[in-house]
Amino acid sequence: MILGRVCGTVVSTVQHPFYRGRKQLIVRACTPDGAFDGDRYVVAVDLVGAGVGETVIVEDEGNSARQLLDAKDGPVRSVVVGIVDEVTDSSPSAGAEKP
Amino acid sequence: MKLGRVIGSMVASIKPEGMRGLKLLIVRPLTAELAVEGDPFIATDASAQAGDGDLVTYEASREAALLHEPWFVPIDHAIVGIVDQHAYDDGGRGRER
């Protein structure tokens, strides 16, 4: 799973039938301190009703995504599975100034 | 899924049996902010209607193979849908780096 922040939405009319009626969010990967992790992002199916600006957990693996959506052969890989309330990073480097 | 821009199409008359009838498009990968990122690749079109210039979402690897009917065709990238609306707001943080 990856930590990310919802930065936008994608709306498609013409798309694979599996994605009909499923909200798609643009989620950029974040480090525990909340900074973006480079340009890493995914367009993920929303399962929890997350909105723009929220920190979320994204499952970024096909088999788990299919299990979560109860779709054995679903062509899906990324699913937003949780909204993060708080992140505590107690590793020694946490809070240290970045080079 | 990721975002990409269709920049061309191609036709191949000799290809694996499983790829028969699939439309091949050239897609340039984009970042969340729609900036160009990386090299173009060839993808099949599971939305069936994508064309030159369209902003699309695509899937790679196993998920791409699952997008087509019959399923599990031998491909590694496929277009999922054509994007009508792309809303993006990172609160200005994207430019901090």
**pLDDT by residue (tens digit) across A23-69?**
999 999 999 999 999 999 999 999 999 999 999 999 999 999 999 99
B97 inside domain: no
- No. of helices (H) and no. of strands (E), chain B: 1, 5
A72 touches chain B (CB under 8 A): no
Domain that holds residue B7: 2-86
The count of structural domains within chain B is 1
Q: B interface toward A at CB cutoff 8 Å?
A: 1-3, 31-32, 35, 37, 46-50, 57, 59, 61-64, 66-67, 71, 78, 80-91, 93-94, 96-97
A38 contacts A28 by C-beta, under 8 angstroms: no
Backbone angles phi, psi at B69, to 5 degrees: -120, 120
Contact at CB, B63 and A19, closer than 8 angstroms: no
Give the pLDDT band of residue A93 (cuts 50, 70, 90).
Answer: confident
Contact at CB, A78 and B1, closer than 8 angstroms: yes
Contact at CB, A42 and B85, closer than 8 angstroms: no
Q: What is the DSSP string of B63-94?
A: HHHHTSSSS--S-SEEEEEEEEEEEE--TTGG
Query: In chain A, what is the straight-line distance between the N-terminal and C-terminal CA atoms, in Å?
Result: 26
Give me the interface pTM, i.e. the ipTM: 0.89
Give the pLDDT band of residue A96 (cuts 50, 70, 90).
Answer: low
Residue A1: count other Cβ atoms within 10 Å of its Cβ. 13
The CATH fold of domain A2-12+21-83: OB fold (Dihydrolipoamide Acetyltransferase, E2P) (2.40.50)
Residue A78: count other Cβ atoms within 10 Å of its Cβ. 25
For residue B26, the SS3 value is strand
Q: What is the CATH number of the domain that holds B55?
A: 2.40.50.220
Residue A97 scores a pLDDT above 90: no
Contact at CB, A77 and B49, closer than 8 angstroms: no
Distance from the A85 Cα atom to the nearest Cα atom in chain B, whole angstroms: 18
In chain A, what percentage of residues exceed pLDDT 90?
A: 89
pLDDT at A91: 84
In chain A, what percentage of residues exceed pLDDT 70?
A: 95
B43 inside domain: yes
* Gap between the Cα atoms of B14 and B3, Å rounded: 29
pLDDT at B97: 42
Give the pLDDT band of residue A92 (cuts 50, 70, 90).
Answer: confident
- For A24, the closest chain B residue by CA position comes to B1
Distance from the B15 Cα atom to the nearest Cα atom in chain A, whole angstroms: 23
pLDDT at A99: 52
Residue B22: count other Cβ atoms within 10 Å of its Cβ. 18
B60 inside domain: yes
For residue A25, the SS3 value is strand
Q: Which residue has the tokens 């930590």?
A: A3
Q: How many Cα atoms sit within 13 Å of A55 on the Cβ side?
A: 12
List chain B residues with pLDDT less than 70.
Answer: 94-97
Residue A98 scores a pLDDT above 90: no
Residues 6+ apart with CB under 8 A from B23: B9, B44, B45, B48, B50
For residue A76, the SS3 value is coil
Contact at CB, B96 and A7, closer than 8 angstroms: no
B-chain residues within 8 Å CB-CB of A36? 90, 93-94, 96-97
**Which among A16, A39, A76 has CB closest to B81?**
A16
Output the average pLDDT for chain A. Answer: 93
